[in-house]
Chain A
Amino acid sequence: MFKSFAKPQSSSGVLTFIRGKRISATNPATERIVQQLSVLAAGRKQPKLLNLSNEDIVKHRTIMSAWKLFTRKKKRAEQEQLNQQYESICNAMNDLKETSPALFELASHKEKRLRFPLEMRFPTEYPPNRPWVYNFTGPVKKRK
């Protein structure tokens, strides 16, 4: 595609033409680089500019602002729930302090060796072949 047609060669001073034979203008290594660059370069590969009509622009803006509103509402609801959860933790701990100081001490004690479990899965687009692992034999040792 990027090879040029043969140019008259004049190695020994005599021009030699070979009908229909393609000879690259450069050596193969350079040619390969040219081809690789042609993949990355924009030349002749760019699509036509999007030229939206006034109506389409209005439509596009409406869609984008609807999306913004949607995400904002979602985030706000999430944040509100988090605030409520934090409030209820504080409330529970205050209550516990009143009712049972001993339990409060145990509840506010942080476990140092507690690690995040490796078995916990990140959600995927499609389920694994066995969605749930049932053959858990039992605890190795009880946590204290």
Chain B
Amino acid sequence: MRSVWVTRASIARAYSTQVQPVISSTLLLSRNPIITQEPSSFEKQFYKYQNELWRRLMWTFPSWFFFKPGTVAEQKYRKLNKPATPDNPNIEFPRGRPELRHNRDRRFKQTISVPKSYEDKKGETNAASETDDLARKIVPNSRITEADLKKDLASLERKLSRTLYLIIKEKGSNTWKFPNFNVPTNAEEVSGLHVVAEEGLYKIGGEKINYFNVSNTPCHVFNNLQENKKEYFIKSHILSGIFEPQESVAEFNWLSKEELKDVLPAEYYQDVSHLLNNV
């Protein structure tokens, strides 16, 4: 990698301006997805097709092994799974004769219903028993959270299947941007770009943030010609905790890539779009 940097030094020189630019570090703080990606309609259809093929080609379920003959469990199983229509030579079957093996028609997929492990309590909603009872029906949590319904853009619980990025609006400013911090020039000891970004994050968002800095190395440079500024991007992930906006921050949002496109200035977004995750 070092050799690559050396060879491209001449290209980088083109950016330098007459007045020494201000060096600053921009923080790309992301919240990684908590749930899996939403499949597209084509993916859904393809998975359904594959699933149906797989079920059609599956072997017959050996019920005699899992439900011992002569037990109550087997009786319940038999009640739920009625035997298929047998092949009767005296009956005409216009759509083909059934081929029964082990109570399964070989021509089709086998659908099995298994006795429920819980009791259906309709109308009875006892909150205490519902949470503690081991035999309760397992209901997964909704993929859409309250924050999604409220359209709360500042919540970390919104859009669980997407990567969200922190953007802020500073006091007195009217544009959204990624948090940006100038590197102190008159300090005795030089602190790295990542340290500036980390300390800046605590200054704008309080100290109750658990984050993971991906690397010391900046992942991008944006030449802000209007302010004569060089913005180096530092990537970081928020793991837990809460972003509490301090005095300098007027507003903050957690947005996905598509939403950032509408909010950020077009030229700026164009320059950084490849850093943002599509998922």
Contacts and interface: CB of A to CB of B under 8 A. Distances in A.
Nearest to B36: A123
Contacts of B190: 102-103, 106
| Max chain B Cβ within 10 angstroms of own Cβ: one of A125, A132, A133 | A132
Interface stretch (B101-109, B122-130, B262-270): B101-109
Contacts, number: 196
Interface in A86-144: 88-100, 102-103, 106-111, 116-117, 119-121, 123-129, 131-134, 136-139, 143-144
Contacts of A93: 5, 217-218
Interface residues of B, number: 78
Interface string B134-154: 000000111101000000000
Interface in A26-43: 35-36, 38-39, 42
A12 B22 CA distance: 108
A16 B64 CA distance: 31
B274 A107 contact: no
22 contacts: A38-B65, A45-B60, A46-B60, A48-B99, A88-B219, A90-B4, A90-B8, A91-B11, A91-B220, A92-B232, A97-B12, A99-B23, A107-B192, A107-B193, A107-B216, A107-B217, A120-B237, A126-B140, A126-B141, A127-B160, A134-B240, A134-B241
Interface of A: 1, 35-36, 38-39, 42, 44-48, 50, 63, 66-67, 70, 77, 81, 84-85, 88-100, 102-103, 106-111, 116-117, 119-121, 123-129, 131-134, 136-139, 143-144
